[in-house]
Amino acid sequence: MKNTVFSRNKPLSYDASKTVVKSLSLEIREQIHHRIPSLRAINSLFPFWLEKVKISNDTLVINNRKWTVGRRIQRENEMEPVIDETEVSICLGAQRAPARRLNQSPDDVFEQLFDAYIRNGTVVRGALTLVGIPAFLKKKNSDELKIKVTNLELPTQNGSTEDYEQLRRFIDLKALRSVMMIENSAANKISSMLEKPEIKTCEKLTLTLSSPSIDPLFRLRNQHLWLHNSRLSIDDLDKLVENWIITGREIGTRFSLYQTQYVDSIFERLKQRFGAIESKHPEHNYYTDGVTIKMGDDRRLVIFAENVGDSEVTYHDPWVFEMEVMASASATGIMGSEEVV
CA distance 247 to 121: 38
Q: 178-183 and 83-92: which strand pairing?
A: unpaired
pTM of the full structure: 0.84
CA distance 244 to 267: 16
b or e along 36-52 (b: 16 or more beta carbons within 10 Å of the residue's beta carbon)? eeebeebbeebbbbbeb
pLDDT 10s per residue in the chain (341 long)? Answer: 445 444 455 666 667 766 777 778 888 888 888 888 887 888 788 899 999 999 999 999 999 999 999 987 765 665 555 567 899 999 988 889 888 989 899 999 999 999 999 999 999 999 999 999 999 999 999 999 999 999 999 987 666 788 999 999 999 999 999 999 987 654 456 778 899 999 999 999 999 887 778 899 999 999 999 998 777 888 999 999 999 999 999 999 999 998 777 788 889 999 999 999 988 766 655 456 789 999 988 899 999 987 766 544 444 566 788 999 999 865 555 555 444 33
